[in-house]
Structure 1
Amino acid sequence: MKILMLSWEYPPKVVGGLARAVADLSQALAALGHEVAVVTTDAPQCEQSAYQAGVRVFRVNQFLPKALDFLGEVYLQNCHLTQKGIELLNQGGFDLIHAHDWLVAPSAKVLKHAFQIPLVCTIHATEWGRNSGLHNDLQRHISDLEWWLTYESYRVICCSESMRAELRRIFQVPEDKLTVIPNGVRPETFASVHRDLDQWRRQWAAPEEEMVLYVGRHVFEKGVDLLLAAAPKVLAHRPQAKFIIAGDGPCHNDLKRQAWELGLGEKVLFTGYVDDLTRNSLYHLADAAVFPSRYEPFGLVALEAMAGGAPVIVSDVGGFAETVRHEVNGLTFYAGNANSLADCIIRLLNDKPLARRLVERAARELVEKFDWKQIAQRTVESYRQTLPQREAEVLYDRYQLTAEALRKGGSVHESRNHGGR
């Protein structure tokens, strides 16, 4: 099968979990013998066309001409994505288009109709879910584009049962159009760490301190403020705790201000963006990896922490509630409740045997449930379910054109020259 992927981000350009999910899926599909071409936006020091782990990656310039605002940038980006997509599709042979999220919806729609190729999409999150509703015109516009993409797609893939329910409720996507396929993780990606971890650890925490780690974007939906709000209670019971807050985002300065107002002082360290080697090392050293999201369609970051050997604590929302089971492969707390979060952190720091059991069970489940080869196979099966539908539509359209030609006194041969949809 020959697949054209559309994604606005792709490693090394990584803003959220979408980039890694698209890359891992594309590479897993290639490993199964399928031909995958990814059209995405540019990244520093990356060639416009390159092979990465068996995948052809094509990057387009998203900054010329310079847009006046965010939406202008999105639409100009889609112009470039469409142009490159046309170049590739003109070469022929592609079986379908797989689009990821609303930022590529316009180009996906144009390419689908222009080349009469089935469109599959993955919705990784929704604007409604990220903001607990739609509160301004920009959010409503983005939500409309998300709906548009689901409407135009032959099949809609989502990463959790929670996300399936959300798409049914918000966009009224038909049940038989939806497929739930989880994201996965490559444990080997997280095996590489700094050479002397004990020595390297000293720049982050004192030898006697216990590391409570957060890695991710600093946005409201990720709930980092809840972790800071839980810190005073944790420190009252475990004064040796040290909070490491990695990442960046729009809420970064507000979070630093909150930490100052709570008097956390040297007990919290904001690291800013960390590279993969630093991230892996922090996971290996963490006494607890905490992800207090208010909204999480899947929660790939929890799997990454598990792969890094960290015991995890997550909120009981969305995909987290499906991948992390309380006291089995992690701990869960009541979403939005800082007191509940503090209790989970205290328990994990107090009970080292429990932490070890959680890490061991999580490592087994990564192989059993979240292996990318299995996920790629399920994705291919979903693709194949769209192809008979496409063939049926082509036959139906040919029948309609034939009937119309006969009514006008033409021939069957003449009618077929008009092509399909």
Structure 2
Amino acid sequence: MIAHTKNILMLSWEYPPHIVGGLARHVHALSLELSKLDNEIHVVTAKPSNSSDYEKQEGIHIHRVAPLNEEDPDFLAWIGGLNLAIIEESLSISRHISFDVVHTHDWLTGPAGGFLSKMLGIPLIATIHGTEFGRNKGVFTNLQQFVFSKEKELCRSAEEIIVCSDFMKDEVLRLLDVTSDRVSVIANGTAIEEVNISKLVIEELFPFLKDRKVVFSIGRMVKEKGFATIIEAANLLKQEAPELSFVIAGNGPLLETYRRKVWEMGLQDSVQFIGFISEEVRQALLKRADIAVFASGYEPFGLAAAEALAAGVPTILSRTGGMQGLIEDGKTGFHMEPGDEKDLAQKILWIQQNHSLAHHMAKSGQKGITEKFSWEHNAKATDTLYSRSITTFAQKEGIR
């Protein structure tokens, strides 16, 4: 008999305030809801500068560790050192806490998850948020081959695998050599109620937004997010719709490349790459946005797009991956063809010229997204999966 209260060891290379992409916010929202279900959650994650080694926030135990080779410029070596530090910290915690499950997110903490599963005799749950093959439309370099092999290794060692969409399940089954019975689709949630209570006046932080129509996007600054397409669309619209201000938030390796491109094209008055933003600023920008755009070429779910829809913002998103299922084209939002700046520009212009109808569509999109996706539902489904995996793992291992 499994006690209702479970002790969960949650591994993630990023966790607030260390936010690189959507993974940190996913793990935070999931952990928060799981703790409300009377589970004890211990998150072990990387330690950014000026943060504490341990704290308890919102009922969640957060343990932060520095990689053993913290200053190593080689990312793979740094990740290896992080996994070793996560293992050391987790084993230390396990001297006082008897864990029931270890849950790791993507390949980056997969080696630690696999080792801890064996050492502690508990099932490993793996959430696959995306694949190296999908992000790059193939596996071409030595680095990509390495990551791809680690994804396969993680899937082989996991008792159960969680993905966020049917699209992602198909991709995992096709690429990572797993059987369908081990893969569960548990959709992401949206946590947008905070937008409605944001008190920040965004023009005080970004004065250039005064009297402008805001086109907002956010994501990690990598090629597959499609920010180059947004820049090209802004260039097409600079004469016809000079009132538009494109505000693009997020950090990543291509941030300075995109900023240079904006200057080279003479778009510095209409396109702003503002870098990393806090949750408060993100909420305020969603509240202020007239249009939201997500032009990704690869997107397993589209958490940022779902939250823009949940905020009631007229939203344009790529017809790709799991994200395309968030809307009904022309009724609750707009699809665009990935990489097609002309298509995107036309959709933006239509929303501008048909404000009332676009607002009505956005309200329909808001209703649909909040009914379909919630972190409460995600956590309940995950909790049920934990219980099932504990039982099957015990049976396989002959544990009584």
Deviations 1:222-264 (A, max 9, x none): 1100011112333343232222222232222322333234333
Which AA in structure 2 matches 1:343? Q
Task: Say whether the 8 Å CA contact 1:124–1:297 is kept in structure 2.
Answer: yes
1:328 and 2:331 correspond = yes
1:64 Cα deviation after fit: 4.4
Q: For the structure 1 residues 196 and 41, does the alpha-carbon distance in structure 2 shift closer, same or farther, using more than 3 Å as the test? A: closer
Name the counterpart of 1:408. Answer: none
Work out the percentage of aligned pairs sharing the same amino acid: 34
Name the counterpart of 1:190. Answer: 195
**Secondary structure at 2:237 match in 1:** helix
1:175 and 2:176 correspond = no
Using the alignment, how far apart are the partners of 2:22 and 2:224 within structure 1?
14
**Which runs of 5 or more structure 1 residues have no equivalent in the other structure?**
399-419
1:282 Cα deviation after fit: 1.6
Aligned residues, how many? 395
Which AA in structure 2 matches 1:60? V
1:334 Cα deviation after fit: 1.1
Task: Say whether the 8 Å CA contact 1:190–1:307 is kept in structure 2.
Answer: no
Name the counterpart of 1:348. Answer: 351
Matches within 5 A, 1:86-97: 86-97=91-102
Larger mean CA deviation between 32-41 and 366-375 belongs to 366-375
Q: For the structure 1 residues 8 and 201, does the alpha-carbon distance in structure 2 shift closer, same or farther, using more than 3 Å as the test? A: closer
1:300 and 2:306 correspond = no
Matches within 5 A, 1:237-252: 237-252=240-255
Which AA in structure 2 matches 1:296? E
**Secondary structure at 1:266 match in 2:** coil
Larger mean CA deviation between 356-365 and 371-380 belongs to 356-365
Name the counterpart of 2:316. Answer: 313
Name the counterpart of 1:85. Answer: 90
Name the counterpart of 2:381. Answer: 378
**Secondary structure at 2:208 match in 1:** coil
**Secondary structure at 2:126 match in 1:** strand
Which AA in structure 1 matches 2:260? R
1:22 and 2:27 correspond = yes
Which AA in structure 1 matches 2:10? M
Using the alignment, how far apart are the partners of 2:205 and 2:316 within structure 1?
21
1:352 Cα deviation after fit: 0.8
Which AA in structure 1 matches 2:51? C
1:92 Cα deviation after fit: 4.5
1:50 Cα deviation after fit: 1.4
Q: For the structure 1 residues 121 and 196, does the alpha-carbon distance in structure 2 shift closer, same or farther, using more than 3 Å as the test? A: closer
Name the counterpart of 1:268. Answer: 271
Name the counterpart of 2:147. Answer: 142
Q: For the structure 1 residues 218 and 92, does the alpha-carbon distance in structure 2 shift closer, same or farther, using more than 3 Å as the test? A: closer
Using the alignment, how far apart are the partners of 1:274 and 1:362 within structure 2?
25
1:191 Cα deviation after fit: 3.0
Task: Say whether the 8 Å CA contact 1:194–1:278 is kept in structure 2.
Answer: no
**Secondary structure at 1:237 match in 2:** coil
Name the counterpart of 1:409. Answer: none
Match of 1:205 among 181, 206, 209: 209
Deviations 1:178-204 (A, max 9, x none): 00011112122323434545x538713
Using the alignment, how far apart are the partners of 1:245 and 1:384 within structure 2?
41
Q: For the structure 1 residues 343 and 213, does the alpha-carbon distance in structure 2 shift closer, same or farther, using more than 3 Å as the test? A: same
Q: For the structure 1 residues 201 and 348, does the alpha-carbon distance in structure 2 shift closer, same or farther, using more than 3 Å as the test? A: farther
Q: For the structure 1 residues 29 and 167, does the alpha-carbon distance in structure 2 shift closer, same or farther, using more than 3 Å as the test? A: same
Larger mean CA deviation between 350-359 and 360-369 belongs to 360-369
**Secondary structure at 1:191 match in 2:** helix
1:227 and 2:230 correspond = yes
Using the alignment, how far apart are the partners of 2:179 and 2:45 within structure 1?
29
Which AA in structure 1 matches 2:308? A
Using the alignment, how far apart are the partners of 2:331 and 2:29 within structure 1?
26
Larger mean CA deviation between 160-169 and 377-386 belongs to 377-386
Match of 2:48 among 24, 39, 43: 43
Match of 2:258 among 255, 259, 281: 255
Match of 2:81 among 76, 80, 88: 76
Whose radius of gyration is greater, 1 or 2? 1
Match of 1:108 among 91, 94, 113: 113
Which AA in structure 2 matches 1:204? F
Using the alignment, how far apart are the partners of 1:344 and 1:367 within structure 2?
24
**TM-score of the pair, normalised by structure 2:** 0.93
Deviations 1:313-367 (A, max 9, x none): 1111112112232123321111121111111111111111122123322332343
**Secondary structure at 2:62 match in 1:** strand
Which AA in structure 2 matches 1:37? H
Using the alignment, how far apart are the partners of 1:356 and 1:247 within structure 2?
26
Using the alignment, how far apart are the partners of 2:28 and 2:123 within structure 1?
21
Which AA in structure 2 matches 1:205? L
Using the alignment, how far apart are the partners of 1:92 and 1:254 within structure 2?
46
Q: For the structure 1 residues 69 and 201, does the alpha-carbon distance in structure 2 shift closer, same or farther, using more than 3 Å as the test? A: closer
Name the counterpart of 2:3. Answer: none
Name the counterpart of 1:403. Answer: none
Using the alignment, how far apart are the partners of 2:93 and 2:382 within structure 1?
22
Using the alignment, how far apart are the partners of 1:74 and 1:196 within structure 2?
39
Task: Say whether the 8 Å CA contact 1:121–1:149 is kept in structure 2.
Answer: yes
Using the alignment, how far apart are the partners of 1:337 and 1:49 within structure 2?
46
